Structure 1
Amino acid sequence: MDPKLFTKIVNGFAGALVSVCKSMGLEITLDKEAITSDVNVGGSRAAALVGFVTTTVKGTVAIMVDDDGFNELVTAMSGGAITPKLGDPLAMSALGELANMASGQAFIKLSELEGLNLTPPQLLVGEHIRSIPSKEKSTQNFTLPFRLSKKGTLYMVLAMS
């Protein structure tokens, strides 16, 4: 895959995620030392997956959170009106809405990519949730770990081929 295109997509989705989180009152900081070109999402308990395609690239963006990250995310996005409980449809909808908002903003940032299309988020929850990377040589994986202000971690995992 063209490294410039890969970088553009990663930066588009990551920038959108940071922008949306900050607009919701979440303090979010990229942990640059923990960025990997593989999948590394230790402690994740919930995830929102969004697929995307262009005329030249297809992939998935996963937003994954640990317990503390989920609690902080739900509290911030609901203004404290929703009790953060993994598996509760209303609480999980906050993660889905974050994925919707971030992917929508990324769509705008990446609109010059021909044929860009996104799927609605799919929500997953469970103990020791993890992403298993594809072993195909044409697929590139990338994990961006973000620290939230109250010790939570939010991961953005991209897989593209």
Structure 2
Amino acid sequence: MAQFYLESKEMKNELILSSMYRELAVQTPLNSVLKQFFSEIKNIEDCEQLQLSLYQIREHLIQQHQVIVNKLKNNDVTKALGFRLIQDKSSSSGGHFLRWRITFGQQKQPKGGLVWKSLIEDSSIPAVAKKQIAQMEKERLVLNMQMSVLNTMIRQLTDTSEKWFEVEQAMRGE
């Protein structure tokens, strides 16, 4: 396990730009939101302010995802093997998730996970390309996890605000 971790650590990023997280921390209130989220929240307005900040962070991440999708359009491996990355905007949460799609060949599209897996298992694809595909998939998983965490935080703040409002109404006798 440790050897695998060291090997994974040395693989260069295929999707995530080296400056992405630095820009996220500088251009959004990410650090302060995390501190506030795990501090005392005193009223509904605090919840709403945190939500607004989380929407701002999520919007920045969505823009970064679009940069990644556009960058990958010129990737030699994805072009040669006929697959691409898209931003799936169909989530009811408002977040956009990165999905693999086949660009030529098959009419019936396998699920995103099967796209990368079938390429890794294809014996005609060189090992170096397989490593790149695997690295892309690992980074895609991380990016989607981060989007999911933001969506969950937003949803939890919404639920908390609604319940808090119910408590206040009950205390006022409404």
TM-score normalised by L of structure 1:
0.30
- Structure number with greater Rg is 2
- Judging by fraction of residues, say which structure has more strand: 1
Question: Which structure is richer in relative contact order (CA contacts within 8 A, separation 6 or more)?
Answer: 1
Q: Which has the higher helix share?
A: 2
TM-score (norm 2): 0.28
